[in-house]
Structure 1
Amino acid sequence: MVTASRVQLTVLRGRDDECRAVRSLLDGMTNAGGALLLRGEPGSGRTALLGYAHRHAESGCTVLAGSGLAEEAALPYAGLQRLVDPVLDRATALPGEQRQLLRRALGGESCPADRQLTLSMAVLGLLAAAARDRPLLATMDDIDRGDPQTAQVLAFVARRLRHLPLAVLLTADVTANLDGIPAHRLRALTEHESNAVLTDRLDRLTGREGGDRLPDRPAASALTALAAIGGGNPQALVDLAEVLTAGQWRGEESLPAAPPADGALGRAYRARLDRLPPETRRVLLLAALDEDGEPGTLIRAAAAAGAEVEALAPAEVAGLVRVEQRGVTFPQPLVRTMIAASAPLAERRAAHRLLAEVLVADAQRLRRAMHLAAATAGADPALADELEQAAVGGSDGWAAASAALRWAAELSDDPGLTATRLLTAARYAWAGGQPDEARLLLDRLRTVCVDPVVRGRADLLRGELELRCGTASSASATLLASAAAVDGTDRALALTGLVRAGEAVCFTGDQYRYAEVGRRALALRRPDDPPALEVMGCLIAGVAATLRGDHERAGPALRRAVVLGDRLTGSALTPTALSCAAAAGLLVAVDGAAHRLAERAVELARERGELSMLSRALELRAVAEYWLGRHEAAAETSRDGLRVARATGQVNCAAVHLGMLAVLAAIRADRETSLRRIREIGESPTPGSRPYALAAWALAVLDLVDGRHAEAAERLASLARLGTRRGQVLVQVMATPYLVEAAAHLAHRPAATAALAAFDRWASSTASPLRRALSARCHALLAPRGGAEAERDFQAALRLHPTEAGTFERARTELLFGQELRRSRRPRDARTHLHQAREMFSLLGVECWAEQATTELRAAGESIGPPDLPAARLLTGQQLRIAELVAEGATNREIAARMFLSTRTVDHHLRNVFHRLGIRSRTELARAFTAERHVGLASDR
């Protein structure tokens, strides 16, 4: 028996709900007792929560603590004896029959079945007597591991505590269930919570070891990878932290593939496995190592081991696996990992050999080779060749192909082959969205490679990783140097490197350095270049000419890239080549073609699993949708790109998508969303970078909405320094209409005039009616107020605005023209344009701008109410179809299936439908459509 006292509580990450439940149980003990069962996997924190309960118990509270021991599971009431031994002296308060039965049971004598109730009442009476002076907390850890008689009695007691100052807190595995007792299932930790556990552990290790061996802070990439390896299990994370080296904490060395087998979690799983029959353990190991999970493979491997799949029954009862018709699955991924890690090396290798023997089909070639590699010790050049050939092209997934090439490198006896295989493994890892793994492989390659060409290729990949995931400012130099190292042996790779170098200088705002990229690319181009190379060469030439203002040279090169992009086939059809063509299309303002090419790049990247290129392709598609006036689609694309970028560690791409989302929200006057996205960007982007510029653009639009014209103009003018090609020239060109609109309210506006001149040169070199319409609108805003020049330019802008796209920009032009006419004391003329603006903004669901148009209409002398528009005019075509299906009673999942959309997209559109129609439920939507249908029928008659 111990008396709990208040001490400094240990932080339990991710267990807030359970801690609240424990506190509630303990705080209510003085008035009414209660019980709680904590269920979780080994290592999930059940014992830590018992410790929390012991520490939290009020001063003077009696605590009885016990635990179920597998070694005593065959001894009836052994666990109960250890639990109540400190208070057995209170048994004198029990009735004689109960006292004698209790002493015999705890003394090792069995209790007859017809006396179980009497014994259980004796234990309840004993605990009640012990709690008479002060409340009592009784805890039993791992109650399911000990003797079942103890579990039965304590469950009986736990259900009868309502009027006693007594609490019972039990823990058990997830498979255990005690009827009538409130239970909490301990969930897996989130990545954020896992990172906190790892950081806490590192802080403790650093303090314990003096801080000399370990870094002050772990690398973010190491935390992310460790969180995935740990599977959200706190003990797995702690065990991993205990064995990591300083290099592993810093992300400079490969991390363990699993928690250590000799750690606390490994020992717990070994104890569970040791209780299973030998045949069950053999088949369970085969199932754990066969990650593809095809039933036929496991059946054949088990037969080869002299067993049957039915041997898994005890493991299924223990909650380790689920055996179903489609195969064997593991409820928790960590269970598979720990089963494999806990097995002796010889047994693992034997199991791998058995699995390799039963994988004979051509489609199983890579899996067979991987199992053979895992069963092999030392070099094996023939197997290394087999692994390399089976992994070519990543048809079994880039992660599997990368792992195969790593094995091939291990089994090689030729340093040159080792280096090239490590490089290919790194390239495959990056294609599959594993930048940290790719970096580690490149670091390892440095130690074995002396070939300058191979090192140059490795540095090209390293530069691309820096561009997407690291310090973009250093990526351009790396890419330029490595492109030069390989240009004599692989022009295609060199040109790809130059494209990436160009992206890097544009990302960081150092566009003046693009001239060097253009000169290098020009030297590499040949008249007979294949289409993919010509696309890249044309893009670089076009961007270089655009940045120096030479649109006469830029236009033909960029248009050529677009045309070639549409013709790409076969091996030339890659996400990289399509993205280059899409980027060219955006620069030459052929928005439809750019969107088509970006869409193809997205589809191809998804189809091939090339996650490294997917986020960039989505970025280009979002920009194309912005120019096409499809702001909602652009936002959805950017959200998709953000998810991909974050999942693949592409922090720079993520920042660009966040910046685009901030701009799109600001344009719709959604201040909260825009500022939230800007905060998510954080402080990492340097001034002059693309994310920084996009954030500034978004803030400027919000300033403009609030009438802070000087602040908006100052922000937008600072995006680039024209004439020096420093800063975000291309972003400023996109934002020029907002800069001019803000400057129109200022007396001094040289920056806007200069930016408009650059915009004009670009717009006039394109065939885009939208760009020319925006140019005319900008000139109208800068023209003398109330003059014929302003009216002429506004009219020209309205004639140029395309009817099938850019509706938002047309509405903005109508609004600005209406404002100009009203302020020129022509209210009757103004009202026509203001009505058009109000209706279009209402159709688009942009309430802020619709309200501005309404305010202008009232100022023009018109009494105006809410717009009375039918649903067919308020909704887009896709929104209208979704609304009709909802009105017919279809669920979101059914709508998604019928329209080939994701349920997330249907949810998004349905929220917009509710907003635009001013309704709050599916029932109201059905009524609205029924009423509108009746009105339509009446009008038809």
Structure 2
Amino acid sequence: MLRGRDEERRAIRRLLDGLTGGGAAVVFQGEPGSGRSALVDYAHHHAAACAVLASAGLAEEATLPYAGLQRLLDPVLDRAGELPTAQSRLLRRVLSGAGCPPERQLALGLAALRLLAVAARDRPLLCTMDDVDRGDRATAEILAFVARRLRRMPVAVVLTATSTPPAGLPTYRLRPLDERDSAALLADRLPEPPVAPVTAALAAASRGNPQALVDLAGVLTTAHCRGEEPPPAAPPADGALGRAYRARLDQLPHDTRRMLLLAALDEDGAPDALVRAARVGGASIAVLAPAERAGLVRVEAHRVTFPHPVARAVIAAVAPIAERRAAHLRLAGVLDDPAHRLDRALHLAAAAAGPDPALAGELEAAALTVGGARASVALERAAELGEDPARVAERRVHAARYAWAAGDTRRARLLLSGLPADPVAPAGTAPAEPLGAGLAAGPVPPTVTGRADLLRGEVELRCGRTPAAVRALLAAADRLARTERSLALVALARAGEALCFSGEQYRYADLARRGRDLARPDEPPEVELTSTYLAGVAATLRGDLEQAGPALRRVVVLGGRLTGSARTPAALCWAASAGLLVAVDGAAHRLAERAVELAREQNELSALPRALELRAIAEYWLGRHEAAAESSREGLRTARATGQVNAAAVHRGMLAVLAAVRADRESCLRRLREIGDGPAPHSRPWALAQWAIAVLDLIDGRPAAAASRLAALARPGTGRGQVLVQVMATPYLVEAAQLAHRPTATAALALFDRWASSTASPSRRALSARCHALLAPRGSAEAEERFRAALRLHPVDAGAFERARTELLLGQELRRARRPRDARTHLHDAWQTFTMLGAGPWADQATAELRAAGESVGVPDPAAARLLTGQQLRIAQLVAEGATNREIAARLFLSTRTVDHHLRNIFHRLGIRSRTELARALP
């Protein structure tokens, strides 16, 4: 199947189906591997009713005028005798190699057109020329002439081109495949479709080029497809796409290839540097014109670019080493501006024949001024040029850190793989493991190995196995404890994240003890923040909320005070997490938002998914469900792009929960399918998925199943399982347990109560009161009082959804206590809020309760105006015109509260749910 080419296939079918009414032509333009030849094959396959003439432009015949035309027309040249004598003679002479004078070009074009008309007398004719721009120019000109004059003949022409297509013809530019079509193409080619993160990585590596995807599929292993090993970062240079570029390269003049090599080695792509380097070699950038026609390069006003990274890689790979070295030295010689310090050093390093400590130091110094992925490349090369084992290892660790920050997980892992992971040997002895390529033999200081373990643990935490992450992070804390206490504390905090992710919070006490041993009085704010965070989380997990509260609030304060280099995304994330634990949701949201902004400013893509996760949780507690979903969607995109499979699973779980809470079954189930059975039991993604399924169970009337799922999330008091997720889900657990008449919520509610009472959050206390109302005897004064206490506690300016849920539950309680009149007020408020929030299934529940309470809620009456009072009709008309409640109040000299009251009555009388339905209901 031709994935992602639906529009182009339709164009071909229209072309062929319309031949009875006259001919036409179409051109497909695209880079190598984009599917041009596949579209020509598609046209041949669907041309069963046509005779077919097919040819292709050959670079080997580009200097032979009309060679392509001769190969195309040769099958029907025997019918040239049916043409007028002058046309027949001219056509035969030109196609025999005699050439065509310029003044006879028009006559030749008409002769070719007439020959196609003769050939099409018996049956419609399809003519195709693949790569028309690669062959001789004379053929391309004649075919374009013919293709523009087919209206009265049953002849279709399909041409493909890489560079500028023939003018005056309908042209389709073949765009890169999107991720969905890329996934479908991989599924077509592989016995086992890759998991979603691997598909995303392959789609990015291919740049949406179909042949690049096919080449990547050809080198994938089962481990790659399952995400057990990082997938290839680029298509193989010896694949079909690479060979296509090589074939084009082989046809170019020597001067063009030398200039292409300069362009391929100049990562910046600035024409100024190329022009100067070419001038040094006695050439001009104009010699790139043949390469541009061949689709190997694009020369733009301020930049020289390649259509695909494979093209650049092939050009560099096939050049002899002496020519590559000379090109690097020539580029280094013209990059004398201080702004190009790193570029110059990289070119000199590429030309270096052996170790060069001075050049290594220059590379390192230049890299530290720019950061990002290029700094990683420079530091790796500096390590290769170095001689001191300690400096070599340190540079590799720095290179891995920059690669990880830039989101290149595969590169970070490769760089770390060359460093020892076992405890370092005593000074003066060989390391415990052989070192990787580029590392000189010799001892590596514990500080360097500790930094490597810290980064290795962070990568495993986000992308791999949490047990391995914990081991690496604890080893890092051990190695760094004496020399870099601040980093040792960071390692412990990361280990704590890993334990919470995997549901092993009972091990957090040991981390806190080790953190206390490392803490000192009068620490800098960022160090105090980390040590205090460890102590506060540990106290929270062991249930000592009196100690946890002050410590975590101190972390929030410190997070807001961080400045300069101390203000990192990681520190802000820990402060945001502390804010969530003490229920200061607004502060937690601000800190998480700052972490997101800082990660973007500093291009620390690896830090974004965690920051967005915390922002989404804060938005959930603030009642901003759509904002939370958007944060998680962005977090999911970033996690997938950076290979953070664990972070991606968390965001999918959060999206599933948000969809379930809003009763969006389809979206919830889609996210659950994406999660699959990959997450380990009791991990955070698993717990979020269980929470989402339980909410759907509750909505569908299966409270026993919901209660069982939610009760199994954790075992309060043991520190096992997802305690914090269960705390978030406790209101649903209590509701399910009450409906199922099960006592499974007692321990979880006790924990929730202690947490809610230790905070200053009215929304948490409102939820606690609602839970106790549900567990009180039905119809009792206690139940009603608890519900009303919850309504008093719900903030007016936030958490509208949870307030509406409380209104709905109170309405149900009053109706079942045979107080329908009292129930209707609360049910109306719940219905209106759910309607305004777009929570349709919840609004349906409120509607059902209203009907059971004696209200008639149904389809709007067509004569809606007759059902309203004069004041209500005027308000309804203004709403239909798009006015807000505040604007209506100002125009009618009413309070906004009065307008709200009238609008609720209008909705009820008309049996509608939204302002949009109101506009449709009015005549």
Q: If the length of structure 1 is used for normalisation, what is the TM-score? A: 0.82
Q: 1:323–1:115: structure 2 CA closer, same or farther, 3 Å change rule?
A: closer
Pair 311,36 (structure 1): closer, same or farther in 2 beyond 3 Å: closer
Matches within 5 A, 1:361-400: 361-392=337-368, 395-400=369-374
Give the drift of 1:345.
3.8
Alignment counterpart, residue 784 of structure 1, candidates 760, 777, 790: 777
- Give the whole-Å Cα distance in 2 for the aligned partners of 1:342 and 1:128: 47
**Which residue is equivalent to 2:579?**
585
Look up the match of 1:541: 535
AA aligned opposite 1:411: L
Give the 3 Å change call, closer, same or farther, for CA 319–42 of structure 1 in structure 2: closer
**Offset of 1:200 from its aligned partner?**
7.0
Q: How many Å separate the matches in 2 of 1:725 and 1:390?
A: 48
State the alpha-carbon separation in 2 of the partners of residues 110 and 224 from structure 1: 53
Cα distance, 1:775 vs structure 2 = 0.9
1:64 counterpart = 2:53: yes
* Cα deviation code 1:453-496 (max 9, x no counterpart): 34443233222212111233543334334433443433222222
Please say if 1:406 is aligned against 2:385: no
Q: Distance in 2 between matches of 1:468 and 1:247?
A: 18
Q: CA RMSD in A?
A: 4.0
User: Which residue does 1:352 correspond to in 2?
Assistant: 328
1:105 pairs with one of 79, 89, 94? 94
Write the distance in 2 (CA, Å) between the matches of 1:360 and 1:379.
23
Amino acid at match of 2:343: R
Contact 1:798/1:813 (<8 A) preserved: yes
* Separation (CA, whole Å) in 1 of partners of 2:495 and 2:875: 52
Residue 583 of structure 1, CA deviation: 0.8
Between the two proteins, what is the percent identity of the paired residues? 65
The CA distance in 2 between the partners of 1:737 and 1:219, in whole Å, is 34
Aligned to 2:82: 93
Displacement after TM superposition at 1:587 (Å):
1.0
Which of these residues, 724, 733, 746, is aligned with residue 727 of structure 2? 733
How much has 1:136 moved relative to structure 2?
4.5
**Gap change, CA 1:363 and 1:111, over 3 Å in 2:** closer
The answer as to 2:404 corresponding to 1:416 is no
1:828 aligns with 2:817: no
Shift in alpha-carbon separation, 1:797–1:401, aligned structure 2, 3 A: same
AA aligned to 1:45 is: G
Question: For residues 632 and 424 of structure 1, do their structure 2 counterparts lie closer, same or farther at Cα, with a shift above 3 Å needed?
Answer: same
The answer to whether 1:816 aligns with 2:809 is yes
Instruction: Evaluate the alpha carbon distance shift between residue 125 and residue 316 of structure 1 in structure 2; reply closer, same or farther with a 3 A threshold.
Output: closer
Structure 2: gaps (5+ residues): 421-433, 861-867, 889-912
| Deviating more after overlay: 544-553 vs 651-660 | 544-553
Q: Distance in 1 between matches of 2:804 and 2:318?
A: 67
Match among 697, 716, 720 for residue 722 of structure 1: 716
1:223 to 1:585, Cα distance in 2 relative to 1, 3 A: closer
- Code of the residue aligned with 1:661 in structure 2: it is L
2:412 corresponds to 1:438: yes
Distance 1:381 1:263, change over 3 A: farther
- Cα 1:98/1:304, change in 2 over 3 Å: closer
- What residue number does 1:793 align with? 786
* Residue in structure 1 matched with residue 894 of structure 2 by the alignment: none
**CA distance in structure 2 between the partners assigned to 1:839 and 1:241 by the alignment:** 52
How many matched pairs?
864
Aligned to 1:563: 557
Name the residue aligned to 2:796. Answer: 803
The answer to whether the Cα contact below 8 Å between 2:30 and 2:36 also exists between their aligned partners in 1 is yes
Indicate yes or no: 2:35 matched with 1:45: yes
Answer whether contact 1:258 1:341 (CA < 8 A) is retained: no
- Structure 2 residue 145 is matched with structure 1 residue 168: no
Does the CA contact (< 8 Å) of 2:511 and 2:534 recur in 1? yes
Q: Choose from 234, 237, 243 the match for 1:260.
A: 237
Which residues of 2 match residues 313-332 of structure 1 at below 5 A?
326-328=302-304
1:68-113 CA deviation, whole Å, 9 max, x = no partner?
2334334332222222223333333334333322222222223355
For 2:185 and 2:796, the matched residues in 1 are separated by 56
Indicate which of 660, 685, 706 corresponds to 1:691. 685
Paired amino acid for 1:423: V
Q: CA deviation at 1:388?
A: 1.4
Contact 1:662–1:674 (Cα < 8 Å) also in 2:
yes
- Specify whether residues 686 and 154 from structure 1 end up closer, same or farther in structure 2 by C-alpha distance, changes over 3 A only: same
Structure 1 stretch 687-696 or stretch 92-101: which is displaced more? 92-101
Q: Please report how far the alpha carbon of residue 756 of structure 1 lies from its aligned counterpart in structure 2 after TM superposition.
A: 1.0
CA apart distance, 1:870: 7.3
Does the 8 Å CA contact 1:456/1:482 hold for their aligned counterparts? yes
Partner of 1:754: 747
SS in 1 for 2:697: helix
> Alpha-carbon deviations, 1:253-308, whole Å to 9, x = none?
99686753797645646646855683x66555544443334565455445544556
Q: CA deviation at 1:639?
A: 1.8
Q: Deviations over 1:601-625 (max 9, x none)?
A: 1121111111111110111111112
Stretch moving more, 803-812 or 288-297: 288-297
Residue 846, structure 1, aligned to residue 839, structure 2:
yes
What secondary structure sits across from 2:380 in the alignment? Answer: helix
Equivalent residues of 2:233, 2:410 under 8 A apart: no
The match for 1:188 is 176
Give per-residue Cα distances to partners, 1:93-150, cap 9 Å, x unaligned. Answer: 3343333222222222233555545444443444454455555543322222323332
State whether residues 656 and 691 of structure 1, in contact with CA within 8 Å, keep that contact through their aligned partners in structure 2.
yes
Alpha-carbon displacement from aligned partner over 1:313-339 (angstroms, at most 9, x marks no partner): 676677766656555555666655555
Query: Residue by residue, what CA displacement relative to the aligned partner does 1:612-655 show, whole Å, maximum 9, x if unpaired?
Result: 11110111111112112222222222222122112111121112
Which amino acid counterpart does residue 358 of structure 2 have in structure 1?
A
Once the two structures are TM-superposed, the CA of residue 433 in structure 1 deviates from its matched residue by 1.0
Q: Does 1:471 align with 2:465?
A: yes
Deviation at 1:821, TM superposition (A): 1.9
Matched, 1:711 2:709: no
Cα distance between partner residues in 2 of 1:430 and 1:331: 26
- Answer yes or no: is the 8 Å Cα contact 1:174–1:185 preserved in 2: no
SS of 1:785's equivalent? coil
SS of the residue 1:445 aligns to: coil
Aligned to 2:763: 770
Label 1:20 to 1:835 Cα distance change in 2 as closer, same or farther (>3 A): closer
Amino acid at match of 1:359: L
Q: CA deviation at 1:779?
A: 0.7
Separation in structure 2 between the aligned mates of residue 233 and residue 800 of structure 1, nearest angstrom: 57
Are residues 360 and 232 of structure 1, via their aligned partners in 2, closer, same or farther at CA, if it must alter by over 3 Å? same
Pick the aligned partner of 1:81 from 70, 77, 81: 70
Structure 1 residues 761, 351: closer, same or farther in 2, change over 3 A?
same
Q: Is the 8 A contact 1:874 1:916 kept in 2?
A: no
Q: Structure 1 residues 341 and 776 mapped into 2: Cα distance closer, same or farther (>3 Å)?
A: same
Could you tell me which residue of structure 2 aligns to residue 429 of structure 1? Answer: 403
Q: Which residue type is aligned with residue 814 of structure 1?
A: E
SS at 1:168 equivalent? strand
Indicate if the aligned counterparts of 1:276 and 1:315 stay in contact, CA closer than 8 A: no
Residue deviations 1:503-524, cap 9 Å, x none?
1221122223333333333333
- 1:273-292 matches, within 5 Å, as 275=252, 278=255, 285-292=261-268
1:68/1:145 contact within 8 Å kept = yes
